[in-house]
């Protein structure tokens, strides 16, 4: 919302946009103040900014393979007392992720030669009244068993 107000504030004004979005104009102005001077932000935002620098430093110092648990332990060894969930949250916000071992699970093997079924609802999933439109979704569910006889067999 802040970016939207920034884009249109010159032509429409801040107060009318805030009234339409149903937020207080003081919220927008507080965000601007915080953006200009990060020291005026909340204690959590200031701590997050400082921890973000430390997390990125530890991540890069270890060849960008450490995950949240190892970064959390390294920060603890260096004397930074921080919760592991905070490290996880900040890593997500920074867009960094540790190395993942193994392969991902492949649940669908599609046949490129098979024709796709026709889209009979033209991507409109809103029915005008009950019992007019029926839509289904097939989701892969692992059962750890072989399928029942006759299931998934081609005739």
Q: What tokens does 66 get?
A: 């450490």
Mean pLDDT is lowest, of 22-36, 62-76, 84-98, for 22-36
pLDDT at residue 139, as a whole number:
63
Angle, CA of 17, 34 and 71, to the nearest 5°: 120
Q: How confident is the prediction for the chain on average, in pLDDT?
A: 87
Mean pLDDT is lowest, of 46-50, 93-97, 141-145, for 141-145
Q: Do the beta carbons of residue 66 and residue 43 sit within 8 Å?
A: no
Specify the pTM: 0.60
pLDDT at residue 142, as a whole number:
66
Nearby residues of 52 by Cβ (< 8 Å), 6 or more positions away: 90, 93, 94
Region for residue 59 given its phi and psi (left: phi exceeds 0; alpha: psi -120 to 50; beta: otherwise): alpha
């Amino acid at each position: 919302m802040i970016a939207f107000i920034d884009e249109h504030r010159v032509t429409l004004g801040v107060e009318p946009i805030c009234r339409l979005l149903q937020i207080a104009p003081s919220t927008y102005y507080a965000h601007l103040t915080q953006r200009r001077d990060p020291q005026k932000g909340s204690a959590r935002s200031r701590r997050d900014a400082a921890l973000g620098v430390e997390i990125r430093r530890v991540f890069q110092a270890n060849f960008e393979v450490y995950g949240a648990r190892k970064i959390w332990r390294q920060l603890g060894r260096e004397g930074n007392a921080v919760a592991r969930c905070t490290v996880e949250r900040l890593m997500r916000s920074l867009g960094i992720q540790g190395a993942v071992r193994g392969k991902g699970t492949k649940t669908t093997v599609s046949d490129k030669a098979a024709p796709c079924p026709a889209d009979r609802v033209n991507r409109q999933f809103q029915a005008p009244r009950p019992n007019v439109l029926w839509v289904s979704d097939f989701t892969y569910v692992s059962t750890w068993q072989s399928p029942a006889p006759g299931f998934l067999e081609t005739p």
